[in-house]
Amino acid sequence: MDQKARNSADSDGGLPEGGFAPLVPELSVTDLERSLGFWCDLLGFRIAYGRPAAGFAYLQRGPIQIMLCRVNGEWETGALQAPFGRGINFQMQVDSLDPLLENLASAGWALYRPVAEKRYRVGDGWSVCREFLVQDPDGYLLRFAVDA
* Over residues 3-9, mean pLDDT: 89
- C-alpha distances (whole Å) from 2 to each of 6, 9, 53, 73, 108 are 6, 10, 12, 10, 37
pLDDT attached to residue 100? 98
pLDDT in tens, 106-137: 999 999 999 999 999 999 999 999 999 999 99
Among candidate residues 101, 127, 102, 103, the one with its CA nearest the CA of residue 114: 101
pLDDT attached to residue 138? 97
CB atoms within 10 A of CB 108: 6
pLDDT attached to residue 77? 85
For the question of whether the overall pTM of this predicted structure is more than 0.85, the answer is yes
pLDDT at residue 47 tops 90: yes
pLDDT attached to residue 1? 85
How many residues are recorded in the chain?
148
